[in-house]
Amino acid sequence: MLDRLHSLSVFLASLFVRIPLWIYGEYILPLVYLLPILQSYKTENYVYPSKLVEEVVNANDVLDICAAHGFEVHEHVVKTQDGYLLTVHRIVSRHASLHELKLKRPVVYFHHGLLTNSELFLLGQRTEKCLPFLLVERGYDVWLGNNRGNKYSRKHINLSSKSAKFWDFSLDEYAIFDIPDTLTYILDLTKLSKLTYIGFSQGSSQAFAAFSINPQLRDKIKLFVGLSPAMIPRSLSHPIAKFLVTCPSELLYFIFGTRAILPSTVFWQRLLGPINYMKVVDWSLVYLFNWKSEHISLTQKQVGYTHMFSPSSVKSVAHWFQIINNKRFQMFQEDISKIYSSVPSLHSKLHRCAPFPVQVIENMPMMLLYGDQDILIDMETTKQNLVRNLKDLTLVELPGYEHMDTLWADNVTELVFNPLLQKLEQVHAANDISDTDTDTTSDI
């Protein structure tokens, strides 16, 4: 009886969201045929602050973004052990010769957050506000990774991205396959034994999870840097966000389906135009998360928001909601029984989901930079889980900073990039190739 009532309540709740989504699909989505006219009308008279801003806002992909800044991109494809094909971007200077590209250089790898892609780190309104470009100019070998399912990684050797099975992944698969396989590919190609990992938000979480279950991977990290590092996010207070976080996973699947979440982002960007789209995103972030964005300029929002979002699986979002509800950095919890899952006390007696045991991470130089106004992370819990086994842990708390400020704040170069670059220089000492082979060249 309880099981039937539970299913009925989930179905009724889903109707309130599914009906508007049906109207959107039947009547709003066909407006795509009018997009060229609408887009021209919205942007033809707009004057951008600079040519660079205009080129980045109107860029189609990471290649266009890098070209606007004067850099090139070499694309690589990593095949994971479970068959996903992930595109990895290597950023190089246009002035680099073939010989320079073959020389061994310290590798710095970047990984993006939830619902984003590798473009995230290249969206500064000026070149000096893009950390990867600064590192390339300082002689580092810079790589940008992508999660399965996002804009650059929607291929599988057997599965179609139209199938629900393709999208059956969460933080577990990122940690077990995507991160280890990508890092192994880069180190094998460059013939190095270690690299520096820089993760933003979930990009840090994926690393924590991967390091916790893979001792061999920990030995490949020379320095880990977490920007706004998420491990166990705080509970969200907004009624809509709180409802979605606390509702059963079945309801999320009823509402959003079992495949991709945010699949129509590009449609809304084109429909609204870059200026109106920026305003809508900004209002939404204020409304849902109370982000004041006092440190991020309107021009920076325009550049960043245009390329900020990328699809991921509904299951990956549901996984984060489980972590928030359970206040525990754990693997995805499958429903072992509808009867038991409807009675939490019985479910917890029968099954305890496996954790990501981050307490075992040790002897890894680590630097975490975060804002004291970031409502999406709980740094006290994060520090409790890490500090006991780390001898070299640098914590940089940034007054007034929110979640996105560690990437886009007006003073991000002074408060975030410069300390990070100093730490990198300490770890990657000049001409220090003690962790490399005797050969001085690598494949490209």
User: Which CA distances in Å does 94 have to 72, 107, 133, 403?
Assistant: 6, 18, 12, 32
Average confidence (pLDDT) over 428-443: 54
Is pLDDT at 245 greater than 90 in this prediction?
no
Is pLDDT at 410 greater than 80 in this prediction?
yes
Band of pLDDT at residue 341, cut at 50, 70 and 90: low
Band of pLDDT at residue 33, cut at 50, 70 and 90: very low
Band of pLDDT at residue 104, cut at 50, 70 and 90: confident
Is pLDDT at 146 greater than 60 in this prediction?
yes
Q: What is the CATH number of domain 30-45+66-326+360-427?
A: 3.40.50.1820
Strands (E), 206-351: 221-227, 260-261, 312-313
Give the separation between CA 132 and CA 4, rounded to whole angstroms. 53
Output the pLDDT for position 337. Answer: 57
Average confidence (pLDDT) over 224-243: 87
- Residues annotated as catalytic are 201, 374, 403
Residue pair 387/395 in contact by the 8 Å Cβ criterion: no
Beta bridge partners of 204: none
Is pLDDT at 338 greater than 90 in this prediction?
no
Task: Tell which wins on pLDDT, 393 or 444.
Answer: 393
Beta bridge partners of 87: 77
| Range of weakest confidence among 17-21, 35-39, 325-329 | 35-39
- First-to-last C-alpha distance (Å) of the chain: 63
User: Which CA distances in Å does 116 have to 10, 92, 316, 360?
Assistant: 29, 22, 13, 29
Average confidence (pLDDT) over 368-386: 93
Mean pLDDT over the full length of the chain: 86
Across 28-42, 214-228, 341-355, the highest mean pLDDT is recorded for: 214-228
Tokens 């996002």 correspond to 150
Average confidence (pLDDT) over 28-42: 48
Is pLDDT at 128 greater than 90 in this prediction?
yes
Judged by DSSP in three states, 280 sits in helix
344's CB contacts (< 8 A; 6+ apart) are none
Is pLDDT at 298 greater than 80 in this prediction?
yes
Share of the chain above pLDDT 90, in %: 61
